[in-house]
């Protein structure tokens, strides 16, 4: 409630400014609103909301089981907790072109700054797994065109993700990306590129801003932000990094609790209560409450 000072429109304008400044910007993934607030506190310029993380948080695999309402609810929860622009993954758009258009409108209404839609066929899967199947170029073009036209705020960033590199090869993937730009995509997200040469080839062929995915344990080599900036990319996302860090510590901490019988030996690996309260702005809420309730209720006059 006390976190944000910027409107959704201002956040979208900030995202466009980042896209146009010729530099690379890092958007870590947030698995909940508290994580988004920490990303802002650390000084990052934006927040990413991963469909894979959203699904995992519901204990579901990343195969399109999580629903549109679950995506919109989580996007709204995270987006309103930060003044940073937020980008959300909407998988395949939750249906045909009209459904994809409705999805984009709902994300806009939820206060999100932008979203990406991919060209996989349902049931989709993680972009760094084998065995993906694609919709035809014409169908994806229709989805992008419908989604672009559905926006009330033209500053809402529509990003087209192509998974074609692993299915059809790089050249055909680039042809798809060009078609997606012509259909109205503001940014292109080439998924699962193999190496710097492929990132460079996409940059040479595509004239709109580009998004790079540096997810761990995937098909792409993890490139440093300086490398990606030199390659001409505009945004880089780290979709699952924060969730993997958190769950790794939870796993190790539970083992210690089971083995030792108490948590004394792992206190130094935890976020301290005072740091959590600082992140939550406990004192600010307290001052706000005292300013509201600084009176006494007397007898009701006759």
- Is the pLDDT at 74 greater than 90? The verdict is yes
User: Is 301 a residue whose pLDDT tops 60?
Assistant: no
- Residue 107: the pLDDT is 98
Tokens of 158: 């529509």
Is 161 a known active-site residue? yes
pLDDT value of position 218:
82
End-of-domain residue from the set 223, 240, 257:
240
Q: Are residues 104 and 65 in the same domain?
A: yes
Please tell me the predicted confidence (pLDDT) of residue 129.
Answer: 59
* Whether residues 148 and 230 fall in one domain: yes
What is the average per-residue pLDDT within 32-36?
97
Any domain includes 1: no
C-alpha torsion 198→123→106→165, nearest 10: 10
Residue 268 pLDDT: 95
Domain C-terminal end among 240, 262, 279: 240
Domain that residue 90 falls in: 8-240
Identify whether residues 220 and 268 lie together within a single domain: no
At residue 287, the pLDDT reads 80
Say yes or no: 193 and 254 in one domain. Answer: no
What would the pLDDT profile of 3-21 be if each residue is shown by its tens digit?
689 999 999 999 999 999 9
Told to judge if 70 belongs to the known catalytic residues of this protein, a careful annotator would answer: no
285 and 137 co-located in one domain:
no
On whether both 229 and 260 belong to a single domain, the answer is no
Question: Confidence band (pLDDT; 50, 70, 90) for 282?
Answer: confident
Output DSSP code: residue 68: H
| 197 and 259 part of one domain | no
In the predicted structure, residue 36 carries a pLDDT above the cut 70 = yes
Alpha-carbon gap, residue 116 to 32, rounded angstroms: 19
Which residue out of 16, 116, 151, 244 is catalytically annotated?
Answer: 116
Give how far Cα 232 sits from Cα of 158, 198, 201, 229, 236, Å: 19, 12, 11, 5, 11
- Residue 123 CB coordination number (10 Å): 12
Residue 297 belongs to some domain of the structure:
no
Please say if 213 is a catalytic residue: yes
Establish whether 89 is a catalytic residue. Answer: yes
* Rg from Cα positions in the chain: 21
Q: What is the CATH number of the domain that holds 110?
A: 3.20.20.60
User: Same structural domain for residues 214 and 177?
Assistant: yes
For residue 28, tell me if it sits in a domain. Answer: yes
| Residue that finishes a domain, picked among 197, 215, 240 | 240
Count of structural domains within the chain: 2
Residues 85 and 201 in one domain: yes
Q: What's the chain's average pLDDT? A: 93
To the query of whether residue 283 is one of the catalytic residues in this protein, the response is no
> Cis bond leading into 123, ω under 30°?
yes
- Active site includes 59? no
Pair 171, 97 in one domain: yes
Query: Residue 299: inside a domain, yes or no?
Result: no
Q: 12, 25, 74, 118: which is the annotated catalytic residue?
A: 118
Average pLDDT over residues 72-101: 97
Estimate to the nearest angstrom the gap between the alpha carbon of 40 and the chain centroid.
14
Which has the higher per-residue pLDDT, 43 or 218? 43
Q: What is the mean pLDDT of residues 159-167?
A: 95
Half-sphere exposure of 132 (CA within 13 A, CB side): 26
In a domain, 209, yes or no: yes
Among residues 62, 119, 163, 186, which one is catalytic?
A: 62
**Tens-digit pLDDT profile for residues 103-157:** 999 999 999 999 999 999 887 766 565 667 899 999 999 999 999 999 999 999 9
Please tell me the predicted confidence (pLDDT) of residue 289: 74
283 occurs within a structural domain: yes
Exactly one of 128, 151, 161, 203 is catalytic; which is it?
161
The verdict on residue 300 lying in a domain is no
160 & 252 share domain: no
pLDDT for res 299: 53
- Active-site option among 89, 108, 163, 186: 89
Query: Does residue 289 have an active-site annotation?
Result: no
Q: Is the pLDDT of residue 76 over 70?
A: yes
Our answer to whether residue 234 is catalytic in this structure is no
Q: Are residues 228 and 275 in the same domain?
A: no
151 part of a folded domain:
yes
Whether 302 has a pLDDT exceeding 80, the answer reads no
Q: What percent of the chain has pLDDT over 90?
A: 83
- Select which of 40, 119, 186, 191 is catalytic: 191
Question: Does the annotation mark 48 as catalytic?
Answer: yes
């Amino acid at each position: 409630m006390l976190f944000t000072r910027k409107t959704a429109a201002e956040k979208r304008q900030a995202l466009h400014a980042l896209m146009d400044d010729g530099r690379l910007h890092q958007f870590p993934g947030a698995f909940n609103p508290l994580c988004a607030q920490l990303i802002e506190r650390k000084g990052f310029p934006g927040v990413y909301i991963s469909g894979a993380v959203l699904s995992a948080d519901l204990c579901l695999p990343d195969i399109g089981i999580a629903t549109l309402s679950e995506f919109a609810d989580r996007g709204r929860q995270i987006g309103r907790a930060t003044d940073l622009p937020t980008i959300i993954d909407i998988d395949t758009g939750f249906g045909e072109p009209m459904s994809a258009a409705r999805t984009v409108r709902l994300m806009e209404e939820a206060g999100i700054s932008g979203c990406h839609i991919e060209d996989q066929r349902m049931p989709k899967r993680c972009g760094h797994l084998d065995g993906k199947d694609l919709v035809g170029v014409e169908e994806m073009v229709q989805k992008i065109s419908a989604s672009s036209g559905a926006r009330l705020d033209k500053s809402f960033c529509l990003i087209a993700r192509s998974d074609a590199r692993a299915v059809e090869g790089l050249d055909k993937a680039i042809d798809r990306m060009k078609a997606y730009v012509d259909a109205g995509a503001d940014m292109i997200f080439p998924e699962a590129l193999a190496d710097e040469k492929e990132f460079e080839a996409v940059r040479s062929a595509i004239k709109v801003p580009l998004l790079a995915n540096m997810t761990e344990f995937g098909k792409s080599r993890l490139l440093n932000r300086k490398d990606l900036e030199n390659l001409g990319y505009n945004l880089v996302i780290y979709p699952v990094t924060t969730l993997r860090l958190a769950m790794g510590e939870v796993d190790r901490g539970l083992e210690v609790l089971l083995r030792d019988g108490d948590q004394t030996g792992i206190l130094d690996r935890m976020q301290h209560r005072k740091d959590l309260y600082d992140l939550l702005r406990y004192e600010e809420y307290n001052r706000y409450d005292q300013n509201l309730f600084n009176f006494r209720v007397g007898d009701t006059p006759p």
